Structure 1
Amino acid sequence: MEEERQLTRWEGYVDWRRRPALRGRHGGMLAASFVLVVEILENLAYLANASNLVLYLSEYMHFSPTKSANNVTNFMGTAFLLGLVGGFLSDAFFTTYHIYLISAVIEFLGLVVLTVQARSPSLKPSACGPANLDIPCQEANGGKAAMLFLGLYLVALGVGGIKGSLPAHGAEQFDEDTPQGRKQRSTFFNYFVFCLSCGGLIAVTLVVWIEDNKGWVWGFGISTISILLSIPIFLAGSSTYRNKIPCGSPLTTIIKVLAAATLNSCVSRSPKGCISRSPSNAVASMATSPSSPTLASKEAEENAKTRESTDAPTESFKFLNIAAVDNPVHKALECTMQQVEDVKIVLKLFPIFACTIMLNCCLAQLSTFSVQQAATMDTKLGSLKVPPASLPIFPVTFIMILAPVYDHLIIPFARKVTKSEMGITHLQRIGIGLVLSIIAMATAALVEIKRKRVATNSGLLDSDHPLPITFFWIAFQYLFLGSADLFTLAGLLEFFFTEAPSSMRSLATSFSWASLAMGYYLSSIIVSIVNNVTGISKHRPWLSGSNLNHFQLERFYWLMCVLSALNFLNYLLWAIRYKYRSTGANN
């Protein structure tokens, strides 16, 4: 007890028993290290199935290739979009600590359902195909399909909750009021992406191999054990965590401010000579109002002056300032200037968020056309033949190499050159990722030109036979896209967490995952538009043909390169105008 009296409290934070968190006892890199270990296991459990799921749906559930691909896209997109739900609940009602535990249990239950179905032949469609010519193939339906999608979307719900809470929980462990705390938080985000990639590396190599050679029961079983093991490891750090106290629904605040600004503005513009409701004269009008005698007291005047000085409205989004008036249209729409400023901050984050969707659209090519390119090439590595589902090993490996190099070499050097605490700001880091994505798409186009030239020269343009060119050429576009992913994802996570109001940080951090989901959806939309436009007047669409050699894939990559360049120019306009609210980012 005497020791607790000597330790100062973390204002706004509690420990896992909801007692006040104490400086020197809670938080710090030790607490965050538990989060990093858990992220390895969590991403292993997710990617072990997501990277190879299309094979399970087509070969074991007998869905068509198109339906299998759509189901995988829907599953992955939903999982990342549900990160917004996890972030919202962490800010509004629960701590990130509790949301992770609840989400991990939900994902575990989903994986148990999938494991049981994979193990029991009676819960899957009957075997068919070349080895079972007497049995026609029939896709999973009825109760079998219901069980499959129940398991998948329980996993998606759990993954969404984890993605929306775990990064914010780790970042909450550091003191943002000190330069050392801010540097440690930046290091945490770098190594969070490193650990995410580490889990992905194990998933796309070891677990994918086990699924292909030992069966999906083993694959689902490993994922189930992995997410189950993450729970006691996370709980082991309970005594070291500091947990932010939920501050109420951030969405309610946003909706209330927008509604109040709209309705109050309508009243202030009324032709009946109503008193103006602008924040600049709200305090004065109430102080002199004869119908408010209590405000005439000295204490009320002092409170009004204090509120006026501390809640001075900013110039950005001036139309929202009218939401903070002393006599709103309805009492339920009463807003403080702090709430108005918080909403302004969130609105300023949206253009940056939108500009990263195109980069994630480029990243989607790693699991689609890039894999198909490599599948037509020589994938042998000595005597080992690399399966297509394991090709993401390239960007994952690059990220794992680059993350510590960036944190221990590049950032210290940048700090010396720029004489600033950050070295490279969040927006500069995101911008570097966007530039790398442009280079990646240009590289992909050049590699495709070379691949098709080899196919033509070797007489294999109309053949499905592997081309006499090593798949290591694909590694170049993976290198640039993997590097872009590190710079942008880590930069986005830290940017959203640092810049968002403290009451909305988990929700804002989950925007990073929502951007990834929208990138996947945008990729499908662009492919459809390209085929529809280029297929006019009986021309063959760019992305169609009897095999990949007949595709005009290099043209598609050049188009993505141009779109990425235009997106980068748009990003520059917003990034140059953006003003950081955090101390560390400005230094």
Structure 2
Amino acid sequence: MEEYEDKYTKDGTRDIRGNPAVRKNTGRWRACPYILANECCERLAYYGMSTNLVNYMKQFLNQGNTVAANNVTNWSGTCYITPLIGAFVADAYLGRYKTIASFMIVYIFGLTLLTMTASVKGLKPTCHNEVCDPSSGQTAVVFVALYLIALGTGGIKPCVSSFGADQFDETDDSEKQSKSSFFNWFYFSINIGALIASSVLVWIQTNVGWGWGFGIPAVVMAVAVVSFFVGTPLYRHQKPGGSPLTRIAQVLVASFRKYSVKVPTEKSLLFEVSDKESAIEGSRKLEHTDELKFFDKAAVETQDDKIRDQPSPWSLCTVTQVEELKSIVRLLPIWASGIIFATVYGQMSTMFVLQGDTMDPSMGPHFKIPAASLSIFDTISVIVWVPVYDGIIVPLARRVTGRERGFTQLTRMGIGLVISMFAMLAAGILEVVRLHIIAKHNLYDSKDPLPFSIFWQVPQYFIVGAAEVFTFIGQLEFFYDQAPDAMRSMCSALSLTTVALGNYLSTLLVTIVTNITTKNGNLGWIPDNLNRGHLDYFYWLLAVLSLINFIVYLLIAKWYTYKKTT
């Protein structure tokens, strides 16, 4: 019996045939290169479009600064909302592997259509003297392509990180430690893709053409598909546990139906299946917690429940099912605290680019760097900080705190929130200096780049990258770790929606700021001619919101209780 337990994983994972996963033949780091290569290629394709998309909107769709920025943030936001769809499909029906495979097809179709809008006559807008006049149909096709891509990425984003983490059995101490490192290297692979996208692809889009600039990501995405399937024999799979939304609804309904029922003081009297496995497919049992006691009513076995051979799941739920809902409720405040951070992060693809467009892009006598390519320094920052964090900071923190991960996940995320404030301060200070140069040389209406190097933007990009390593990676690990076993894709998707809401909040803030500051004929903070605007005020606003958000986060983190499995 002991030999059997050592041979197979203990977290319920299966191989591709549905048999218990053999520990030595599946999973662990040997399965990860295919998953990491897939993510690297997928992110290269995504950032190859998104990094410079605001300039595509301006040049080819003839949109102003505010409209273009809002269209990009709305699309980016949707790319982080659709993961809820993919995650639901994965957790409830298909599992992560089949969901990733299915949605990649939609993704490639969207990329192909987008490439055609920039290269095929009739779909490509007509341009004269660098001024384009797209028809409503041509504009519509661009947005259809973009939102097909948003749907495709919805099945990949929430599943790939969770699928990679599934390759490590957290009941085994050595594999559990490897799982923590996996999230760091997962994010590292994302940024290798982003590095190539923000340098090579943005240069191609700017200097060669958008047809090639969008076509290469389509080809790269095809490579991602091949990489993913090559690793198939090595993967470990978690069984889909049925609709998580249904289980949550059952607990809510049962709790309210029994609102007058008293919860017994002895928690062992609450309903739970007696065998070792949870009643939920692919999930371990969860220990009872004392918070949110109202939901415990759903697990109280009344006389009506006892006289039935099979009580209705809308009347009686297991403790594990109740604790699933409690886990989600506990996660929501932490989730909400990431929205402001995501708003700050979103400025790299909008306001940072628009700010950089006004500055001197010269890099030597013959080469000019596109403003959107400055995001390469965010990527380099992440690539530098991941190994530093994993190899230096964590071991040092481990000695001080005695914790296996060095910091708690909540502490790690909080450090990132603090760092993000300095990113906005750096951007705001740079804008003050930029406006001072404009005033000094009376360059308010100059269409030429300012005599001020674009490389002064590097610090703000680098600081955002450092903040990402703490907050975004910590968030990935936290939501996977704290999610119930059968809801991990859903919780990974939930963490991604902070980016979506951050983009939508950015759109809302830009709209509100524009409406307020353009009253009485004023140009406002963010006019089409930024030389006459006050983008620095917008950065100060985000810095203040980040400070308030961090103070609230400290209170939330102090309240949070980590989950326990039996």
TM-score by length of 2: 0.90
1:359 matches 2:344:
no
1:378 matches 2:363:
no
Per-residue CA deviations over 1:488-532 (Å, capped at 9, x if unaligned) read 110000000001110111110122221111101101111222333
Mapping of residues 87-486 of structure 1, within 5 Å: 87-125=87-125, 127-130=126-129, 138-142=133-137, 144-265=138-259, 268=260, 276=261, 278-280=263-265, 313-327=288-302, 331-333=312-314, 334-383=316-365, 384-486=367-469
Q: Which has the larger radius of gyration?
A: 1
Change (3 A) 1:57 1:551: closer
d(CA) in 1 for partners of 2:473, 2:48? 22
Letter of the 2:46 counterpart: Y
> Does the 8 A contact of 1:542 with 1:556 survive in 2?
no
SS of equivalent residue, structure 2 residue 501: helix
> Does the 8 A contact of 2:273 with 2:318 survive in 1?
no
> In structure 2, what is the equivalent of residue 291 of structure 1?
none
Measured after TM superposition, the shift of residue 469 of structure 1 is 2.1
d(CA) in 2 for partners of 1:530, 1:232? 46
1:568 matches 2:550:
yes
Paired residue total: 548
| Alignment partner of 2:503 out of 505, 516, 520 | 520
d(CA) in 2 for partners of 1:223, 1:217? 10
Instruction: Indicate the RMSD between aligned Cα atoms, in angstroms.
Output: 2.9
1:508 matches 2:491:
yes
Measured after TM superposition, the shift of residue 51 of structure 1 is 1.8
Moved more, 431-440 or 361-370: 361-370
SS of equivalent residue, structure 2 residue 21: strand
Per-residue CA deviations over 1:425-479 (Å, capped at 9, x if unaligned) read 1111100110001111122222222222222223324433322222222111112
1:529 matches 2:523:
no
Letter of the 1:331 counterpart: S
Letter of the 1:122 counterpart: G
Measured after TM superposition, the shift of residue 579 of structure 1 is 2.0
d(CA) in 1 for partners of 2:532, 2:368? 25
> Does the 8 A contact of 1:542 with 1:555 survive in 2?
no
Change (3 A) 1:11 1:553: closer
Letter of the 1:318 counterpart: K
Measured after TM superposition, the shift of residue 355 of structure 1 is 0.3
Change (3 A) 1:6 1:472: closer
Measured after TM superposition, the shift of residue 574 of structure 1 is 0.7
Change (3 A) 1:56 1:453: closer
Measured after TM superposition, the shift of residue 128 of structure 1 is 3.3
Letter of the 2:121 counterpart: P
SS of equivalent residue, structure 2 residue 155: helix
SS of equivalent residue, structure 2 residue 159: helix
Change (3 A) 1:546 1:98: closer
d(CA) in 2 for partners of 1:552, 1:5? 65
SS of equivalent residue, structure 1 residue 128: strand
Letter of the 1:486 counterpart: V
d(CA) in 2 for partners of 1:235, 1:259? 42
> Does the 8 A contact of 1:258 with 1:320 survive in 2?
yes
Letter of the 2:200 counterpart: L
> Does the 8 A contact of 1:261 with 1:319 survive in 2?
yes
Measured after TM superposition, the shift of residue 179 of structure 1 is 3.1
> Does the 8 A contact of 1:434 with 1:484 survive in 2?
yes
Measured after TM superposition, the shift of residue 546 of structure 1 is 6.1
d(CA) in 1 for partners of 2:385, 2:270? 59
> Does the 8 A contact of 2:371 with 2:454 survive in 1?
no
Measured after TM superposition, the shift of residue 9 of structure 1 is 4.5
SS of equivalent residue, structure 2 residue 170: coil
d(CA) in 2 for partners of 1:311, 1:504? 13
d(CA) in 2 for partners of 1:497, 1:63? 40
Letter of the 1:152 counterpart: L
> Does the 8 A contact of 1:96 with 1:165 survive in 2?
yes
> In structure 2, what is the equivalent of residue 17 of structure 1?
17
| Alignment partner of 2:475 out of 492, 500, 503 | 492
Per-residue CA deviations over 1:20-62 (Å, capped at 9, x if unaligned) read 2111221101112221111110001111112223343444455
d(CA) in 1 for partners of 2:270, 2:481? 37
d(CA) in 2 for partners of 1:210, 1:111? 17
Measured after TM superposition, the shift of residue 211 of structure 1 is 2.1
Letter of the 1:503 counterpart: A
Letter of the 2:323 counterpart: E
d(CA) in 2 for partners of 1:425, 1:377? 41
Measured after TM superposition, the shift of residue 249 of structure 1 is 1.1
Change (3 A) 1:4 1:340: closer
d(CA) in 2 for partners of 1:178, 1:44? 34
Per-residue CA deviations over 1:284-318 (Å, capped at 9, x if unaligned) read 799xxxxxxxxxxxxx9999xx99xx987422111
d(CA) in 1 for partners of 2:209, 2:339? 36
Measured after TM superposition, the shift of residue 66 of structure 1 is 5.1
Measured after TM superposition, the shift of residue 138 of structure 1 is 4.3
> Does the 8 A contact of 1:543 with 1:552 survive in 2?
yes
d(CA) in 2 for partners of 1:492, 1:413? 21
Letter of the 2:332 counterpart: F
SS of equivalent residue, structure 2 residue 407: coil
Letter of the 1:379 counterpart: P
Per-residue CA deviations over 1:379-429 (Å, capped at 9, x if unaligned) read 212232111121211111111111111111111111122222111111111
Change (3 A) 1:547 1:244: same
> Does the 8 A contact of 2:287 with 2:564 survive in 1?
no
d(CA) in 2 for partners of 1:409, 1:474? 28
Change (3 A) 1:11 1:409: closer
Letter of the 1:215 counterpart: G
1:553 matches 2:535:
yes
SS of equivalent residue, structure 1 residue 16: coil
Measured after TM superposition, the shift of residue 535 of structure 1 is 4.7
> Does the 8 A contact of 1:10 with 1:22 survive in 2?
no
Moved more, 178-187 or 223-232: 178-187
Measured after TM superposition, the shift of residue 281 of structure 1 is 8.2
Measured after TM superposition, the shift of residue 534 of structure 1 is 4.1
d(CA) in 2 for partners of 1:350, 1:278? 25
d(CA) in 2 for partners of 1:507, 1:205? 33
Letter of the 1:395 counterpart: D
Measured after TM superposition, the shift of residue 368 of structure 1 is 1.9
Measured after TM superposition, the shift of residue 84 of structure 1 is 1.4
d(CA) in 1 for partners of 2:192, 2:324? 36
> Does the 8 A contact of 1:282 with 1:325 survive in 2?
no
